[in-house]
Amino acid sequence: MSKYRAEKVTVDGIRFDSKDEARYYQDLKKRKVAGEIINFELQPKYELQPSFKKNGKKYQPIYYVADFLIYHNDGSLEVVDVKGMATPVAIQKRKEFDYHYPELKLSWITRSLKYSEDGWIDVDELKKIRAKNSKRGVS
């Protein structure tokens, strides 16, 4: 279990960082079979900063490694990260990803049976709903 209580799980011989990530993988497999998407990839990697040398010291490149890349039927691509909790580092990398790859849609999603019909909701949308509900005193 990680420090954010995410329990690693293995599905189809693939190790996922959380149960929710594994569940989303299973949902994507169903969507592919149903013809709702063309295909998907696991762990797509995007360079945010190349390696470089300074004063004789070599610095490694910085990458954004998402959970999934979805190939939609309309030809569009969607990069998806299943989030339980957004760390400050993740938030910074998201900004850098959006800067370097403006043509790609990056979706941060989380599992929510309460606020979503299919069990998945955009992280930012869920934040807005919770903020609105807390102002009204709704839990």
Between 79 and 86, whose confidence is greater? 79
Choice between 137 and 58, residue whose per-residue pLDDT is larger? 58
pLDDT, residue 1, reads: 45
User: Domain extents for the chain?
Assistant: 40-133
Q: Beta strand pairing status for 105-111 and 77-82?
A: parallel
Q: What is the pLDDT of residue 131?
A: 86
pTM of the shown model: 0.87
In sequence order, what DSSP letters do the residues of the chain get, joined into one string? --TT-PPPEEETTEEESSHHHHHHHHHHHHHHHTTSEEEEEES-EEEEE--EEETTEEE--EEEE-SEEEEETTS-EEEEEE-SS--HHHHHHHHHHHHH-TTSEEEEEEE-TTT-SSSEEEHHHHHHHHHHHHHHT--
Which of 3 and 85 is assigned the larger pLDDT?
85
Mean pLDDT to the nearest integer, 3-15: 85
What residues form DSSP beta bridges with 96? none
Share of the chain above pLDDT 90, in %: 75
Taking CA 78 as the corner, what is the angle to CA 75 and CA 81, rounded to the nearest 5 degrees?
160
What percent of the chain clears pLDDT 70, i.e. is strictly above it? 94
Task: Find the mean pLDDT for residues 9-24.
Answer: 96
**Would the pLDDT of 2 be above 60?**
no
